[in-house]
Structure 1
């Protein structure tokens, strides 16, 4: 029997050793078990221990645990072998149960379970087990420290890691290279780079693992230059450069390129590493090849990445994804799609990463339809993926689609983050959807994101744009930290709602708080100056614009032109326009429209024709501006010519505004036959502005017949609007048809339509004062306290709502 037991022990040992690092044959394990049972040795603890180990290595953990439970007298080795089998199978619950029921636990038992738990989805549990081990009086070994420090790094438990470090010093294991590397990894993963550097500098002989961990930590913290220098030091010091180190430094080079710093040096080093890879024969390694591709792709050298791809002996889905993403990053949308098709033809099925990368590529190319198609192929989109598509819709001004997609996201129980809320608030702001904005505000409070500066800025913008300026102010004053964006949102909100005094006051406070105005700040302030028709304040803002270096910013420049134009100072507007080095279509449009609105129609046409000789192409707004100039200056023939050229020469379909301007030009010129022809063919017959313009022209030229037609349309479309009643009555009165005029006034009264009171305002150095009809005293409007005005200017403007001014 003893000889048979020895023979079986030798067989089991041979099966275990024969694996050579590979999984032993399950058939051999079962055959050995059968021989053991047939020989009546099922109670032999030594043989069963070896069998448990063999079953575990063979990938049969259930058989291993069954053999363990069949043991009448298990010893410590039996328990440890069973625990190892459970851990190898990923059954941590069974491993912990075995550990808990073990009569004489030792450091091997604890280390086995702690190591498995530290590598699981709940690495933090390893820390609790480590504390329990310490309470039992067991001293940690270098294996214990390695597992526990790995868990500390995984859950960013820096304080626990430091305590482990102190204990390692106490028990004399701080010089163990295994522990040193574990400590280095823990500090880098916890973001404590200073501690990691001190640890690394104190190491007697760092190896390739030490260098790789330190390079990864430096790159992760943004110290890419230091990571690259460390690799150079590693190469000079004679430490073996392995595949992991090469992949790590390539990752640092990629990060340098993506971060837009040390780019030239990073590419140069990346190329030298590429040469070293070829020299050392690392090119056949898939992970190294992918890292090299990623480095070139991040450095915007996609053609080089493709060369690496084509030289690789084998590729994976990761390789294809890097190539597809690389083309997307450089804006080659068509090439990215081509790579995607080629990938599928090569037998690789796209995964969620592929579609997510293509989604970002489509959004960058402003192709939201293709982006949505990619999104719909992702089985379980992450919140980041949702945000990418939401941002794409919002960027394309498809705000209703953005909101509908957000609702779908909620139905699928995907919790929004700060980016989601900011994007949705932006859409609510653009649509003026206050109710949904309030719901998003409530959601931000529930998610504890309402104090996040990114979300708070969105809330301020939404409330101010929706007319709830007081709520926006409340949120603004509750913010503990403010950036220039939230100041701009408040100033813009005040300007939009003509709260010009408040806008100036906030602009002053913004500067006093050390915030430097941006282009948005100045554009809003110019808007307020334009609304106040205040040249002195506008000039002071203009001076500040020049001082801060924004005078050549096209966004600010367009606002300055608009301000001077609305203040009636076309000479200054043109002077600034001519001084602009770079002009966009907005600047041209503002200048042309300024001429048109101030009665300089010939100059508007002249500037428009000059623009056509430049590289700038007119858009819909340009034609509205030049047609307005034609109508205000009696250039009816020019208006017809420009209108007809829109679609034929520039592919622009006329909108209702273009028809309105053309009808106004023809009506002012008393060419009513042509007006009727235009109205007959236009698709906007239910737009009230068209009929109001026609009715106003009929008043001027006493055309009662066509005026009656226009008024009837307005009575149907907008029965509560007093303008058509007043204007039709004026036509009758001018023709001596006082009975018809009285009938219209009676109809107006019977329908409960009330005409607004006329008013005037006076603008002088102490502010603006408005006077309503029959008022004895005026009311201050929009008086600003920000700027002193030494000019004694006074401007009177009268508005009478009996007359409708169009165009």
Structure 2
């Protein structure tokens, strides 16, 4: 049975956002201008309404070759033996961005693989806008982006919320017959949802006759990203009716939604699926179970899940610290953090975010300073969230000079 999420989402549950918002055309969405040439990819016209949007249909283009299989990526040629892409990738993996760029620029033979290595490497090393600039340079050099290029560019467009470039990639994928393909469709769905155009995500999802767990998860993520949590539950129910087996990623998304909506009954059902499928010992699944029970106020269940994890990592410890915070057991949460470290488990950036949040709520100024200073021991760079908690706490207690210091540490505040 084919479930039409487009109708399901509008009808199944009341929502704080109107159905008109969910069906908003891309023509009403703002797009950012990045340095891509105007005719690099064939753009989708801004007047193209959602009611006529059929991204998986190529009936208007007469193609002699068959479409690629939805489960198998299009064939790409292996790189030439003298191709520099492997060396470029190696430098990027080691964080040597300048060396990677030098190898690329000094290479007399810059293949599509080499360009892909540069674009991907820049994106993964924190230079997404520079990565898009290399797409422009690639096109200027006359190189044609392949399927791998598309899969590299789409997450960049999603991260930067660059709807215009995302639409161009979508149109190019249609022209090159890269669709339908599950991985690319899910990436497009994520990109559109990140840009606030969930209507396109719904159309892409409905256009796929055979839906696997990747597509269902992408549809759930699209709803969550745009604040449609009740609708995300409706998608989950539809997925269950198809007897599609959920994986660990899908289950954690379900648990996250149950926690946000305080739906403990449904959360327990998902917990049953976790146990049935044997995922209870997976760290991030166990952590999300603890988060869900903590958010729903069922602390005993949160502790039971924590106790059942044989090899506890920072994710599970952090989740239980948050659960203590939900119960307003602030001193116990701080003691749990200390117990975590005494057991040899290293806290991560999210652990420090959790304990600093608790210090902020409880007014533990000295503990907050201790934790903030401790981050450098674990080579964790202070984030905007860390600094925000410190500023809020110090301002509340009249320590304005010290609060100003943390403001200066985080320019984005």
Normalised-by-shorter TM-score class = 0.7 to 0.9
Compare CA radii of gyration and give the structure with the larger one. 1
Question: Which residue among 390, 394, 401 is the counterpart of 1:677?
Answer: 401
Matched, 1:506 2:230: no
* Structure 1 match to 2:385: 657
* CA-to-aligned-CA distance 1:375-394 (integer Å, 9 cap, x gap): 22322322223223333334
Q: CA deviation at 1:677?
A: 2.7
Q: CA deviation at 1:607?
A: 1.3
Change (3 A) 1:503 1:656: closer
Matched, 1:549 2:278: yes
* CA-to-aligned-CA distance 1:171-195 (integer Å, 9 cap, x gap): xxxxxxxxxxxxxxxxxxxxxxxxx
Secondary structure in 2 matching 1:489: helix
Q: Give the distance between the partners of 1:507 and 1:601, measured in 2 at CA.
A: 34
Q: Give the distance between the partners of 2:111 and 2:412, measured in 1 at CA.
A: 47
Q: Give the distance between the partners of 2:409 and 2:379, measured in 1 at CA.
A: 22
Q: Which of the pair is proportionally richer in helix?
A: 1
* Structure 1 match to 2:139: 410
The answer as to whether partners of 2:387 and 2:407 remain within 8 angstroms in 1 is no
Question: Which residue among 274, 279, 289 is the counterpart of 1:560?
Answer: 289
The answer as to whether partners of 2:394 and 2:402 remain within 8 angstroms in 1 is no
Q: CA deviation at 1:547?
A: 0.8
Q: CA deviation at 1:367?
A: 4.6
Aligned positions of 1:108-257 closer than 5 A: none
Structure of greater relative contact order (alpha carbons < 8 Å, 6+ residues apart): 2
* Structure 2 match to 1:727: none
* Structure 1 match to 2:84: 355
Question: Which residue among 499, 519, 530 is the counterpart of 2:259?
Answer: 530
Question: Which residue among 177, 181, 188 is the counterpart of 1:459?
Answer: 188
Q: CA deviation at 1:484?
A: 2.3
Change (3 A) 1:436 1:594: farther
Aligned positions of 1:394-405 closer than 5 A: 394-405=123-134
Q: Give the distance between the partners of 2:324 and 2:187, measured in 1 at CA.
A: 36
Q: Give the distance between the partners of 2:160 and 2:212, measured in 1 at CA.
A: 25
* CA-to-aligned-CA distance 1:452-511 (integer Å, 9 cap, x gap): 333222212211232222211111222244332222111111122232333223223334
* CA-to-aligned-CA distance 1:224-281 (integer Å, 9 cap, x gap): xxxxxxxxxxxxxxxxxxxxxxxxxxxxxxxxxxxxxxxxxxxxxxxxxxxxxxxxxx
CA RMSD of aligned residues (A): 2.7
Change (3 A) 1:422 1:543: same
Secondary structure in 1 matching 2:117: helix
Secondary structure in 2 matching 1:458: helix
Question: Which residue among 181, 204, 212 is the counterpart of 1:483?
Answer: 212
Change (3 A) 1:502 1:657: closer
Question: Which residue among 427, 443, 456 is the counterpart of 2:172?
Answer: 443
Question: Which residue among 341, 345, 357 is the counterpart of 1:612?
Answer: 341
Which consecutive residues of structure 1, in runs of 5 or more, have no partner in the other structure? 1-350, 690-807
Aligned length: 334
Change (3 A) 1:597 1:403: farther
* Structure 1 match to 2:303: 574
Change (3 A) 1:624 1:427: same
Change (3 A) 1:459 1:378: same
Secondary structure in 2 matching 1:491: helix
Q: List, as ranges, runs of 4+ consecutive aligned residues in structure 1 with deviation greater than 6 Å.
A: 685-689
Q: Give the distance between the partners of 2:90 and 2:395, measured in 1 at CA.
A: 51
With normalisation by structure 1, the TM-score equals 0.39
The answer as to whether partners of 1:636 and 1:665 remain within 8 angstroms in 2 is yes
The answer as to whether partners of 1:600 and 1:633 remain within 8 angstroms in 2 is no
Change (3 A) 1:680 1:473: closer
The answer as to whether partners of 1:554 and 1:587 remain within 8 angstroms in 2 is yes
Q: Give the distance between the partners of 1:390 and 1:687, measured in 2 at CA.
A: 28
The answer as to whether partners of 1:526 and 1:560 remain within 8 angstroms in 2 is yes
* CA-to-aligned-CA distance 1:62-103 (integer Å, 9 cap, x gap): xxxxxxxxxxxxxxxxxxxxxxxxxxxxxxxxxxxxxxxxxx
Secondary structure in 2 matching 1:467: coil
* Structure 1 match to 2:9: none
Q: CA deviation at 1:410?
A: 1.7
Q: CA deviation at 1:542?
A: 0.9
The answer as to whether partners of 1:600 and 1:629 remain within 8 angstroms in 2 is no
